[in-house]
């Protein structure tokens, strides 16, 4: 590094370049998070009938809201439902994504371009639209597939998972496929010379190299699954089997906008954020050595 | 499922995002007082309200009303409360009767008793009670009301050999007859998604979900009348002779249209719903008073209906009340409401002004409005409490669960009561024992 100008100017420059990012971060991330914490510690207290001026004021309640959020049975029941739904989505969606990526990357594939676009296309359909489309297909009197009530209590989780898998497989496939294309072809030639079949190449060469990408897609998918909201919310008006607190995020929405309790909603948001952090970083910690070990 | 999310912390943004909005400074009102023309904003979902406002604006250049079309329903109430909290609420807002107490409790609407008390004689005591909560204050001017009646397929009632049920017992008997004749056909459906519908039926039975005694709220959602209504429907659903699909779903629309649902206990605004969802039934539907709990009685309840309220933050209260009064009590305003916005006006003289029946009923019920007016006088309502959102949400979840678990409906009414009381206690409302 050459110091051609005054030291003061040089040391100010990085901050100048960083300023837009810092301002955006503060405005749209730090302040909202701070405000959420602020709300989570407060509550309105009503006196008497609660009608008229001055009968309602905001008070500090400490950790009461958070305690209520953590001990709310309905929230944990929601986590359990999301756990079942999420396991299903994660396994099926990522399994299919990996399968499709490997198939598209294999030497014998036909109509590769068309298949790639066809599998990716559902990702371009907004979640609400996808849920509505599927919702209509699920309705007993409208469905072309007879004999199954897709919206019954026993089937509704699978029906929702299907919407998520349909919409998410393409994106994950593309991430994995792009990674596959970056692998030098010479690896495969070497494997073939050693007598490896296409299947053996996929299992022993491609998948091990793909592990970091698989981990990346898994982390993204875990986060998205924890935040599941669109599918159940859109399907809810069509059936009796999805409650207003089916997923934790739906409970936040209900508290904030249906029952008008921003304070509980803020507290539950913090709990969800904590669970997301624990799950995502927990998963990363478990797989870190394997995935990123080579890079160190 | 979308994986584009940037950060884990985004989970917190849902609640925080709207909090952020709450911090934006209030939009400065365009004008302060009488000096110069006044500009008013009006949130409403009634159709063609912009045309009606235009008529007013032509005649009143000093008070300009700008309509902002809303999406109606519970979402509209939530949006208004959020805007009021953020300090940028509109001057005027369409407020459904059941949400008005929440608005009052949140200090979001103004007490306009000084300006609007004079219009009291225009409205029935029941409707006036809904905008005063039985106090000396006036929080809104009634706009439309939704007295309930029974819509039924005249031709299919004949086909299955059932008469129009005069009592709920006869209704149950008719439900059995119809379903026995054709297992695909139901007399009606119990909707776990429409608490307003259930509240109307409870009102008919004489329920009082909330009441004010002195300085305390009394909550009686699980009173005898409501429990009776719940168990009546629960019995029919468990017997399997009444369907349990929610109203306003594609499936229900289809059932109405293809004649597998023969009747619908609904409100006076029903023709619009039938016209768009069951076009094949045109000229085949009739109306009758709701079946009664005791032969010889004559009661109905209300499902829906709304009022025009002035927001507490409005800097032009007098002008806003002037417009709201014109809209809901002036013959010209009422005439426009009926013809352009298709509402059943709350004002007594407005109901007399209704002329030709809705086109959908022109053949089958030419005296639609006369019938509706007679039924309307028999409707009785109750005071809504300050946390209707909680109660209505509890209705949906509790009855969803009852339908799934096949548990007694009266237990769901108990859940509604407990949830409502717990929420009020948590907030600190004084409750009467």
- Whether the Cβ atoms of residue B235 and residue B170 lie closer than 8 Å to each other: no
Residue B218 near chain A (CB below 8 Å): no
In a domain, B255, yes or no: yes
Which of B15, B103, B383 best probes binding to A when mutated, by most A CB atoms within 10 angstroms?
B15
Q: Do B166 and B260 share a domain, yes or no?
A: yes
Q: Cβ–Cβ of B1/A277 closer than 8 Å?
A: no
Q: Do B341 and B392 share a domain, yes or no?
A: no
State the pLDDT at residue B1.
36
Place A183 in a pLDDT band, splitting at 50, 70 and 90: very high
The single-letter DSSP state of residue B26 is P
SS (H, E, C) B374-387: HHHHCECCCECCCC
Second CATH level (architecture) for the domain A72-295: Orthogonal Bundle (1.10)
State both tokens at A272: 């969800």
In a domain, B93, yes or no: yes
Please, what's the b/e burial string for A76-105 (b: 16 or more CB within 10 A of its CB; e: otherwise)? Answer: eebbebbeebbebbbebbbebbbebbbbbb
Place B353 in a pLDDT band, splitting at 50, 70 and 90: low
Instruction: Report the C-alpha gap between B429 and A45 in whole angstroms.
Output: 8
* Complex prediction ipTM: 0.82
pLDDT at position B11 over 90:
no
Q: Do B317 and B290 share a domain, yes or no?
A: no
Last residue of a domain, one of B319, B337, B354: B354
Q: Do B209 and B295 share a domain, yes or no?
A: yes
Residue of A32, A39, A48 lying closest to B215 (CB–CB): A48
Residue B427 near chain A (CB below 8 Å): yes
Strand partners, B189: B243
Instruction: Report the C-alpha gap between B81 and B87 in whole angstroms.
Output: 10
Instruction: Report the C-alpha gap between B10 and B276 in whole angstroms.
Output: 40
Strand partners, B286: B152
Instruction: Report the C-alpha gap between B378 and A256 in whole angstroms.
Output: 37
Q: B206: phi > 0 → left, psi -120 to 50 → alpha, else beta; which?
A: left
Domain boundary assignment for chain A: 7-62, 72-295
Q: Do B291 and B409 share a domain, yes or no?
A: yes
Place B27 in a pLDDT band, splitting at 50, 70 and 90: very low
Give the pTM. Answer: 0.85
Range of the domain at B250: 147-302+381-427
* Predicted confidence (pLDDT) per residue in B64-89, tens digit: 999 999 987 778 888 899 899 889 99
State the pLDDT at residue A4.
52
State both tokens at A208: 């091990």
* Predicted confidence (pLDDT) per residue in A29-83, tens digit: 999 999 999 999 999 888 888 887 777 888 999 999 999 999 999 999 999 999 9
The enclosing domain of B327 has a CATH number of 3.40.190.10
Looking up tokens 């409650």 gives A243
Instruction: Report the C-alpha gap between B235 and B223 in whole angstroms.
Output: 18
Residue A160 near chain B (CB below 8 Å): no
* Predicted confidence (pLDDT) per residue in A83-136, tens digit: 999 999 999 999 999 999 999 988 777 888 898 899 999 999 999 999 999 999
- Whether the Cβ atoms of residue B420 and residue B217 lie closer than 8 Å to each other: no
In a domain, B29, yes or no: no
Size of chain B, expressed as the number of residues it contains: 433
Q: Do B38 and B170 share a domain, yes or no?
A: no
Distance from CA of B214 to the nearest CA of A (A): 9
Instruction: Report the C-alpha gap between B348 and B326 in whole angstroms.
Output: 15
Q: Do B164 and B257 share a domain, yes or no?
A: yes
Q: Do B191 and B276 share a domain, yes or no?
A: yes
């Amino acid at each position: 590094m050459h110091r051609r100008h005054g030291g003061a100017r040089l040391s100010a420059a990085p901050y100048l370049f960083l300023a837009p990012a810092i301002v955006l971060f503060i405005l749209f991330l730090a302040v909202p998070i701070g405000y959420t914490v602020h709300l989570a510690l407060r509550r309105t207290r009503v006196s008497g009938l609660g009608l008229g001026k001055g009968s309602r004021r905001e008070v500090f309640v400490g950790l009461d809201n958070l305690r209520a959020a953590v001990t709310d049975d309905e929230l944990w029941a929601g986590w359990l439902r999301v756990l079942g739904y999420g396991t299903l989505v994660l396994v099926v969606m990522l399994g299919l994504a990996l399968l499709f990526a490997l198939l598209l990357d294999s030497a014998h594939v036909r109509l590769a371009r068309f298949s790639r676009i066809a599998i990716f296309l559902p990702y371009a359909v907004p979640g609400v639209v996808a849920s509505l489309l599927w919702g209509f297909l699920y309705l007993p009197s409208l469905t072309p597939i007879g004999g199954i009530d897709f919206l019954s209590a026993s089937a509704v989780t699978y029906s929702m998972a299907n919407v998520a898998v349909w919409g998410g497989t393409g994106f994950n496939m593309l991430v994995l496929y792009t990674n596959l294309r970056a692998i030098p072809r010479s690896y495969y030639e070497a494997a073939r010379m050693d007598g490896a079949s296409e299947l053996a190449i996929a299992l022993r060469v491609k998948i091990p190299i793909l592990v970091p990408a698989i981990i990346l897609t898994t982390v993204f998918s875990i986060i998205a699954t924890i935040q599941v909201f669109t599918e159940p919310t859109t399907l809810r008006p069509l059936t009796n089997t999805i409650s207003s607190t089916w997923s934790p995020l739906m409970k936040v929405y209900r508290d904030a906008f249906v029952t008008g309790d921003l304070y509980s909603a803020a507290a539950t948001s913090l709990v969800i954020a904590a669970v997301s952090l624990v799950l995502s970083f927990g998963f990363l910690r478990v797989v870190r050595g394997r995935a990123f070990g080579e890079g160190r | 499922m979308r994986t584009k999310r940037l950060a884990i912390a985004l989970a917190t943004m849902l609640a925080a995002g709207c909090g952020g909005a709450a911090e934006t400074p209030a939009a400065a009102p365009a004008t302060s007082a009488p000096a110069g023309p006044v500009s008013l904003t009006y949130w409403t979902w009634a159709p063609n309200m912009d045309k009606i406002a235009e008529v007013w604006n032509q005649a009143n250049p000093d008070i300009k009303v700008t309509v902002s079309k809303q999406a109606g329903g519970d979402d509209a109430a939530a949006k208004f409360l959020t805007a009021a909290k953020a300090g940028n609420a509109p001057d005027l807002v369409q407020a459904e009767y059941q949400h008005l107490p929440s608005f009052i409790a949140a200090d979001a609407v103004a007490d306009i008793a000084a300006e609007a008390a004079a219009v009291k004689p225009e409205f029935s005591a029941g409707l006036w009670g809904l905008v005063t909560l039985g106090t000396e204050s006036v929080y809104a001017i009634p706009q439309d009301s939704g007295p309930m009646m029974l819509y039924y397929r005249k031709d299919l009632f004949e086909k299955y050999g059932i008469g129009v049920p005069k009592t709920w017992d006869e209704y149950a008997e008719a439900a059995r007859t119809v379903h026995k004749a054709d297992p695909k056909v139901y007399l009606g459906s119990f909707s776990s998604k429409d608490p307003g519908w259930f509240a109307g039926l409870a009102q008919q039975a004489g329920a009082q979900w909330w009441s004010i005694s002195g300085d305390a709220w009394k909550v009686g959602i699980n009173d005898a009348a409501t429990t009776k209504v719940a168990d009546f429907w629960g019995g029919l659903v468990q017997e399997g002779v009444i369907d349990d699909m929610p109203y306003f779903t594609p499936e229900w629309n289809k059932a109405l249209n293809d004649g597998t649902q023969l009747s619908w206990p609904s409100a006076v605004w029903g023709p619009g719903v039938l016209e768009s969802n069951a076009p094949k039934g045109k000229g085949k539907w009739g109306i009758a008073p709701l079946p009664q709990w005791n032969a010889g009685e004559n009661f109905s309840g209300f499902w829906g209906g709304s009022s025009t309220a002035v927001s507490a933050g409005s800097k032009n209260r007098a002008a806003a009340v002037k417009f709201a009064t014109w809209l809901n009590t002036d013959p010209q305003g009422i005439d426009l409401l009926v013809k352009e916005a298709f509402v059943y006006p709350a004002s007594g003289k407005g109901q007399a002004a209704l002329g030709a029946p809705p086109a959908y009923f022109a053949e089958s019920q030419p005296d639609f409005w006369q019938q509706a007016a007679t039924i309307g006088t028999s409707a009785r309502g109750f005071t809504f409490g300050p946390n209707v959102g909680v109660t209505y949400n509890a209705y949906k979840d509790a009855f969803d669960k009852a339908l799934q678990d096949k548990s007694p409906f009266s237990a769901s009414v108990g859940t509604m009561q407990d949830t409502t009381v717990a929420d009020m206690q948590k907030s600190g409302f004084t409750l009467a024992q």
